[in-house]
Structures are given as structure tokens and as C-alpha cells.
Amino acid sequence: MTDGTNELLNEVAVYYSNRLAQHGQTAAGVDWRDADSQILRFDQLLTLIAANGPYTLCDVGCGYGALLDHISKLKHSVRYVGLDVSSAMVDAARQRFVHNPNARFEISSRPDTIVDYSVASGIFNVKLGRSEQEWEEYLLETLDMMNEVSTRGFAFNCLTSYSDTHKMRPDLFYADPLHLFQICKSRYSRHVALLHDYGLYEFTMIVRR
Ligand SMILES: C[S@@+](CC[C@H](N)C(=O)[O-])C[C@H]1O[C@@H](n2cnc3c(N)ncnc32)[C@H](O)[C@@H]1O
């Protein structure tokens, strides 16, 4: 990882630690509008997973661990690692799941082990003061990483460039879904699904091996 990326991730960590301090362990504490949309995103991402057997999962940008709450209800047999650059988020998640022997949380942006699947919900949205080009380079670097560490596939979401123009904000990054579809198809796998039909101003990309 370059010094530039480290600096960027430090800024991201400060931003989300502040959100957590302001709003606590809630959807708003990880910058979502509400819990329903947070879960709707998880359901899109989890279409990646063939849950008919045990699997390992890395949740990049896990926040306080809301995805693990959701997966626990689905009764999947999963060994889970949650990563977050915000130490406050990781502290909160560790406390919440202290009794779950199949889960661990690390302050990091890259897993220390190979996993079956990795997912990322919401990590590409807030670009703070970064340029479009700088943020896209960081996004692609992160996708390369997810591809490298995931043997069965990975999934992520982004705000869409097909949002209503008058609602778009300069501090957010709106990705072109077609451009990213093309990149995922040509770089990572023949099996790519673009989900852009779930009623939010965003899309989910599923990359299967
Ligand atoms: C929008 S919040 C979503 C949290 C969680 N995925 C959820 O949906 O409840 C994004 C989280 O990802 C973390 N984050 C952002 N970029 C990251 C990266 N590259 N690596 C690890 N954590 C990251 C932030 O600190 C923040 O806690």
C-alpha cells in the first residue's frame, strides 16, 4: 500500500470514528440512512454466497458488525473476519461479538489470510476531499486486493452515476456501473452480475469464480 493510500485511509478512519461517536452502534453510526437500507444492501451482497456448506468470509469495512448480526440470523456456517480502519468500530464490534468463537475483528484494510469470499458495503461512497481520479485509483486497488484474497468470489456496492443530478453531493463518489462491470469482467472473472434494481441510488457487483 502506498503512503498516499495510508493517508487516505487515516482520513476515512477519522470520518467514521466521528460518525460512531455521534450516532452510536446504529445504521446512522456507519453513515446509512436507516437500518432497512443497510439490510437491503447486505441481502444483495450475500447473493454472492452459495450457503449450502461452510465458508469463510472477510467483511472489508465491517463497521460495528451489522453484517454478522444479519448472517447469524440466516444460520450460515461461517468463519468470519471483519476488517475496519477505524479502531473505534473494531472495538465496538469486538465487544458485541466477544462470545462468538467463529468471528474476529481486525484494524486493517487487508485480511491476513485467504478467504472463500469477501464483501464490502459502503466503503467506496464518501471520498471526502479526494479527486474523482484519486478515489477511483483507490477503489480499483481495493478491488485488486479483494480479488487476490478471495478464492470463490467477492462483492461490493457503490453509489451510482445514474443518480438524480440534483441529489448528487460533491463529497460522495458516484461510480459508473458499466465501467466497473467491464473492469470486473476483463480483470477478474467471466462470472459477473450487476444488481442495479433494488431501489437505492447504488448498485452491487457480484464477482464469482
Ligand atoms: C459506510 S460504513 C459501513 C459499515 C458496514 N459495512 C455496514 O454496512 O454496516 C463503512 C465502514 O468501512 C470502513 N472502511 C472504509 N474504507 C475501508 C477500507 N478500505 N478498509 C477497511 N475499512 C474501511 C469505515 O471505517 C466504516 O466503518
Per-residue pLDDT of the chain (209 residues; tens, 9 = 90+): 788 899 999 999 999 999 999 999 999 999 999 999 999 999 999 999 987 789 999 999 999 999 999 999 999 999 999 999 999 999 999 999 999 999 999 999 999 999 999 999 999 999 999 999 999 999 999 999 999 999 999 999 999 999 999 999 999 999 999 999 999 999 999 999 999 999 999 999 999 99
Which value, to the nearest 10 degrees, does the dihedral of the CA atoms of residues 171, 5, 123, 93 take?
-120
Ligand 1: distance of its center to the CA of 30 in Å? 7
Ligand 1: distance of its center to the CA of 128 in Å? 14
- Please give the full DSSP string across 70-90, using - where no structure is assigned: HHHHHT--EEEEEEES-HHHH
3-state secondary structure of 180: helix
Ligand 1 atom closest to the Cα of residue 17 is 25
Q: What is the pLDDT of residues 43-57, one digit of tens each?
A: 999 999 987 789 999
Residue nearest atom 27 in ligand 1 by C-alpha distance: 63
CA 146, 147, 152, 155 dihedral sign is positive
**Domain CATH for 170:** 3.40.50.150
Give the number of domains in the chain: 1
Cell of 56: 469463510
pLDDT the model gives residue 3: 81
pLDDT the model gives residue 97: 98
| Greatest extent of the chain over all pairs of C-alpha atoms, in Å | 47
Ligand 1 atom closest to the Cα of residue 60 is 21
- Please give the full DSSP string across 31-74, using - where no structure is assigned: T-S-HHHHHHHHHHHGGG---SS-EEEEEET-TTTHHHHHHHHH
Name residues contacting ligand 1 (CB within 6 A).
Answer: 9, 12-13, 16, 30-31, 38, 60-63, 66, 83-86, 89, 109, 121-123, 142
C-alpha distances (whole Å) from 159 to each of 98, 123, 169 are 33, 10, 11
> What range does the domain containing 145 cover?
3-208
